[in-house]
């Protein structure tokens, strides 16, 4: 900490108001790269807390510990001994980093906490034995041992204080529990005082906040009293603070204070907001007061540094922690909220929530012992021609010089253009959403279990683009989970697709998830109105709403619609997340939970990726490096990013296609993601390609030979090892960050989508004018020949095939044959998307990206139309209006675009006839 760093004024003001900011996180690279010391200066950081869940992410989410694990394993240490050695070293080193804080505060601050085993929560004797062992092993005056505040462990707390061990009492939810542990602290000090021992022992009482709101808000929703949401956590904590003041300002503590004893400070824990409708500094600004600690996740600490308001730290001169909570507590009681039952429930769940990560950690360490013995594999390996490798290296250096990585994490919108431009600063919530939602895993899984236990066998997601593509990837990657509902997707306006979904389910045992950020997506609302009417007829008016769940942004029209129709639940997503970056928010996680996917694995992987994406300079293989690489390669004409994905993650291309195309395809530049194009021979690829191989660990290596040949031929090839469906969270976050950095490299805003609305407006115009007045003729051979000739003559050109028809695996196979035929004959890139889904995906790139695309629209109908309640048109009419509107929009942008109708009942046979026809023209 020799280099002086300017202190953040907001956090300095928090310290001056009497609240110490502690970090609820520990990991080795924070210690080895000096980051913790920097935060002590820049963020006025005065302490660190840890627990098994934190160590699980740190140890299993990185390779930082592999060397130590390998060494300890060779010495014969078991998993628990390895964990203890790692944890003791990190806590000891953190104590040393914060030693100057401890000294400067006269021993009152600068503490680092290590928790006893969660399995000892009801074992006082075992707790005190382990507390002694940890205290002696740490051998630091600014260490603290975390002991749970259960009734069983109260004697252990008293004994530890008596023995001179600093104690962080954790898992406190109720005021009554707080009083018991405060009394134990006082008894321990009184025993020392009676024996003439020094009173230089310190303790904090960790009182959990946001989890109280999560549980109470759930109960309030069930009672229709959302007007009281968001009050319980602060009111409960303030009640504890009032009790703290009464105890430590009273007569009993006075002689101890006079003898030099410190108060047992209330520590506000679980202070990251869980509900995106709440300000992210709610539990910081709302609990400021003398003699308090606020231990924050990194995301909350950074939010406080950016947005905490020192003027809000007191109300009419009263610190916010000392505000009177009685009115809020009375209102909650009147609404039927039994706060004692709430806190009892949270304590039980809290103990379980700490036991499970410890079990997973120990199991993971066993696996890590074998993995650490092998050579480490970078997240992304690059095979680049020398000239391109040098260009990428220079781009990385520019990112370091411009401090791009740190500025993105600091929500600095000037990374992507002038300050204050729309859709930047309010579109970066995805950076920290995984950590924020980790604490909600229990609630999400609990909700999913309640749905399953109600007999639901199918969950149908009604959504488009960012609302559907991540869940679709999760569904296909994980497959149906035994004992859980099957997840189906409807992101089509094809009437046959609507009927297919309806015929596949028992409506009485089906839950529909209506998923739209804006609340006004025409495809999603049309599907909802159809299925709500069908459900209404099936189960009746009162029961119909219970078969629907909404996922949307706060304030969207869907919120009111869901309330009016009696939806089972509405999930309000963080509004600071754009649709294509929402994979790890409610839009991705609620469907994943409902199908029984592994949420902890998804979020743990995302948290690990976030850590790698913070690295400065960007580490080879991390998200920052990857973004610099694909952005710089695109600047050198290598702008066709072609994905080759091993099983079982083949569907990944569906999601990453939207992310990259819609984020970068604007202002005449961009990166075109290419998904599901069959691999070809080396001469089938032009000089505009980059190939990305998501290579499965333990896979059969079926693609390795061809990719090696492409690399040898001079094509850039990036290889990204992946580890099965549970690794999707890491991969999602890695590519989100890489795409943002690529936006910087390309000089564009990766969070807006200026051309998406054009096709929507064109659709409205067609619906208003009617389809009969301006039918679109199919292309003849001359038009198709001209389209293909233009494709061949256009340097860097690509053919986008757009199918307005029922999605099916058989059609996917047939279109792959068409794509290979065109690609092999022209050495040009091909893409394919189902309409109207691609309008919310690659559609932005088609209109706003480089003007080198050629477009072939395929349309097919089968069977009768399906009516849309409340509209004068049905799904078939809507689909045709979207197809015609898109065609007209492309032509208005000067893009060569032709249309073909697939005749007959079999679209696959009709497409193969088109392929044969085009082969003749080629």
φ, ψ dihedrals at 266, nearest 5°: -65, 135
The residue behind tokens 């922690």 is 321
Reading the block at residue 226, the tokens are 């959302």
Reading the block at residue 739, the tokens are 């795409």
What residues contact 103, with CB distance under 8 A and at least 6 apart? 110
Reading the block at residue 791, the tokens are 């494709």
How many Å separate Cα 812 from the centre of its chain? 30
Spatial separation of the C-alpha atoms in residues 835 and 803, rounded to whole Å: 6
Spatial separation of the C-alpha atoms in residues 437 and 287, rounded to whole Å: 22
Spatial separation of the C-alpha atoms in residues 37 and 23, rounded to whole Å: 12
Report the SS3 class of residue 327.
helix
Query: Any idea of the CA torsion for 481, 483, 489, 495, to the nearest 10 degrees?
Result: 130
* Residue 148, number of CB atoms within 10 A of its CB: 26
> Between the CA of residue 562 and those of 275, 559, 575, 806, what are the distances in Å?
18, 5, 18, 28
| CA dihedral over 664, 666, 668, 672, signed as positive or negative | positive
Alpha helices in 642-780 (DSSP H): 652-664, 704-712, 728-746, 756-769
The residue behind tokens 């564009």 is 748
Reading the block at residue 422, the tokens are 């729309």
Query: Is 764 among the catalytic positions?
Result: no
How many Å separate Cα 17 from the centre of its chain? 33
Q: Nearest to residue 513, comparing CAs of 551, 484, 483?
A: 551
Spatial separation of the C-alpha atoms in residues 378 and 376, rounded to whole Å: 7
The DSSP code for 485 is P
Q: How many CA atoms lie within 13 A of 652 on its CB side?
A: 29
Are 656 and 769 within 8 A, CB to CB?
no
Among candidate residues 146, 517, 640, 760, the one labeled active-site is 146
Spatial separation of the C-alpha atoms in residues 643 and 676, rounded to whole Å: 7
Report the SS3 class of residue 294.
strand
Q: Nearest to residue 577, comparing CAs of 459, 704, 736?
A: 736
Q: Which residues pair with 382 in a beta bridge?
A: 718
Chain length of the chain: 922
Reading the block at residue 521, the tokens are 């997506």
Spatial separation of the C-alpha atoms in residues 413 and 421, rounded to whole Å: 8
Q: Largest Cα–Cα distance in the chain?
A: 103
Spatial separation of the C-alpha atoms in residues 432 and 435, rounded to whole Å: 6
Are 598 and 485 within 8 A, CB to CB?
no
* Residue 791, number of CB atoms within 10 A of its CB: 24
Are 182 and 244 within 8 A, CB to CB?
yes
Counting other chains too, the contacts that 329-334 makes at CB distance below 8 Å and 24 or more residues apart are 329/235, 329/236, 329/239, 331/228, 331/231, 332/216, 332/228, 332/231, 332/232, 332/235
**Terminal-to-terminal C-alpha distance of the chain:** 68
Q: Nearest to residue 200, comparing CAs of 102, 314, 266, 127?
A: 102
Report the SS3 class of residue 799.
strand
Question: What per-residue string of b and e applies to 240-279 under the rule 16 or more CB within 10 Å gives b?
Answer: bbbbbbebbeeeebeebeeeebbbbbbbbbbbbbbbbebb
* Residues with a known catalytic role: 146
């Amino acid at each position: 900490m020799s280099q002086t760093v300017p202190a953040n004024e907001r956090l300095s003001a928090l310290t001056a108001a009497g609240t110490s900011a502690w970090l609820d996180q520990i990991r080795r690279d924070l210690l080895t790269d000096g980051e913790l010391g920097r935060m002590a200066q820049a963020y006025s950081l005065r302490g660190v807390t840890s627990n098994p869940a934190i160590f699980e992410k740190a140890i299993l989410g990185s390779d930082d510990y592999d060397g130590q694990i390998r060494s300890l394993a060779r010495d014969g240490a078991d998993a628990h001994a390895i964990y203890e050695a790692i944890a003791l070293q990190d806590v000891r080193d953190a104590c040393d980093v914060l030693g100057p804080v401890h000294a400067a505060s006269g021993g009152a601050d600068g503490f680092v906490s290590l928790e006893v085993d969660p399995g000892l929560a009801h074992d006082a004797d075992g707790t005190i034995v382990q507390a002694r062992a940890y205290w002696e092993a740490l051998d630091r005056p600014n260490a603290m041992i975390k002991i749970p505040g259960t009734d069983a462990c109260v004697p252990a707390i008293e004994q530890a204080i008596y023995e001179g061990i600093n104690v962080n009492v954790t898992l406190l939810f109720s005021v009554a529990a707080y009083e018991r542990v405060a009394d134990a602290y006082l008894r321990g000090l009184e025993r020392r005082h009676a024996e003439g021992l020094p009173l230089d022992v310190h303790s904090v009482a960790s009182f959990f906040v946001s989890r109280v709101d999560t549980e109470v808000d759930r109960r309030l929703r069930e009672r229709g009293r959302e007007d009281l949401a968001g009050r319980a956590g602060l009111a409960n904590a303030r009640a504890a603070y009032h009790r703290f003041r009464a105890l430590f300002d009273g007569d009993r503590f006075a002689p101890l204070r006079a003898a030099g004893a410190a108060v047992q400070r209330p520590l506000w824990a679980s202070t990251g907001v869980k509900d995106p409708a709440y300000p992210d500094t709610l539990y910081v600004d709302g609990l400021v007061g003398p003699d308090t600690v606020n231990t924050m996740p990194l995301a909350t600490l950074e939010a406080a540094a950016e947005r905490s308001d020192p003027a809000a730290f007191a109300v009419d001169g009263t610190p916010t922690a000392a505000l009177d909570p009685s009115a809020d507590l009375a209102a909650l009681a009147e609404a039927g909220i039994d706060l004692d039952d709430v806190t009892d429930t949270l304590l039980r769940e809290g103990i379980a929530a700490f036991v499970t990560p410890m079990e997973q950690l120990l199991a993971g360490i066993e696996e890590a012992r074998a993995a650490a013995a092998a050579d480490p594999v970078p997240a992304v390996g690059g095979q680049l021609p020398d000239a391109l490798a040098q260009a990428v290296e220079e781009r990385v250096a520019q990112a370091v010089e411009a401090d791009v990585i740190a500025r993105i994490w600091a929500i600095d919108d000037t990374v992507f253009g002038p300050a204050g431009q729309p859709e930047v600063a309010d579109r970066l919530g995805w950076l920290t959403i995984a950590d924020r939602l980790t604490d909600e895993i229990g609630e999400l899984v609990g909700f999913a279990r309640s749905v399953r236990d109600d007999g639901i066998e199918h969950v149908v997601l009604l959504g488009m683009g960012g609302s559907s593509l991540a869940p679709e990837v999760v569904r296909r990657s994980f497959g149906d989970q035994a004992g859980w509902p099957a997840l189906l997707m409807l992101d089509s306006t094809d009437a046959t697709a609507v009927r297919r979904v309806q015929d596949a389910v028992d409506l009485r045992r089906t839950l529909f998830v209506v998923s739209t950020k804006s609340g006004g997506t025409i495809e999603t609302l049309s599907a909802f109105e159809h299925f709500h009417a069908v459900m209404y007829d099936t189960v009746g008016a009162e029961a119909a709403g219970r078969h629907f769940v909404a996922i949307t942004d706060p304030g969207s029209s869907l919120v009111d619609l869901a309330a009016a129709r009696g939806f089972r639940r509405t999930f309000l997503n963080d509004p600071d997340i754009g649709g294509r970056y929402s994979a790890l928010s409610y839009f991705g996680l609620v469907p994943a939970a409902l199908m029984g996917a592994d949420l902890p694995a998804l979020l743990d992987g995302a948290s690990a990726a976030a850590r790698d994406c913070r690295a400065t300079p960007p580490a080879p293989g991390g998200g920052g490096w990857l973004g610099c690489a694909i952005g710089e390669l695109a600047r050198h004409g290598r702008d066709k990013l072609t994905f080759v994905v091993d099983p079982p993650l083949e569907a990944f291309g569906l999601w990453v296609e939207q992310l990259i195309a819609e984020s970068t395809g604007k202002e005449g530049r961009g990166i075109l993601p290419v998904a599901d194009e069959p691999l070809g021979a080396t001469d089938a690829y032009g000089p505009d390609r980059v190939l990305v191989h998501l290579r499965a660990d333990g896979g059969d290596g079926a693609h390795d030979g061809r990719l090696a040949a492409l690399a040898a031929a001079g094509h850039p090839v990036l290889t990204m090892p992946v580890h099965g469906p549970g690794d999707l969270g890491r991969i999602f976050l890695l590519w989100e960050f890489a795409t943002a950095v690529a936006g910087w490299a390309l000089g564009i805003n990766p969070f807006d989508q200026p051309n998406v609305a054009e096709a929507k407006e064109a659709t409205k115009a067609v619906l208003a004018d009617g389809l009969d007045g301006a039918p679109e003729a199919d292309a003849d051979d001359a038009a198709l020949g001209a389209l293909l000739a233009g494709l061949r003559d256009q340097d860097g050109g690509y053919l986008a095939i757009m199918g307005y028809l029922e999605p099916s695996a058989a059609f996917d196979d047939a279109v792959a044959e068409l794509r290979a035929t065109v690609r092999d004959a022209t050495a040009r890139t091909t893409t394919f998307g189902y309409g109207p889904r691609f309008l919310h995906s690659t559609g932005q790139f088609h209109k706003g990206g480089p003007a080198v695309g050629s477009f072939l629209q395929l349309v097919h109908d089968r069977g009768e139309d399906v009516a849309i309640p409340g509209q004068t048109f049905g799904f078939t009419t809507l689909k045709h209006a979207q197809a015609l509107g898109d065609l007209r929009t492309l032509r208005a942008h000067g893009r060569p675009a032709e249309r073909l109708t697939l005749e007959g009942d079999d679209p696959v046979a009709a497409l193969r006839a088109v392929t044969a026809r085009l082969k003749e023209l080629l």
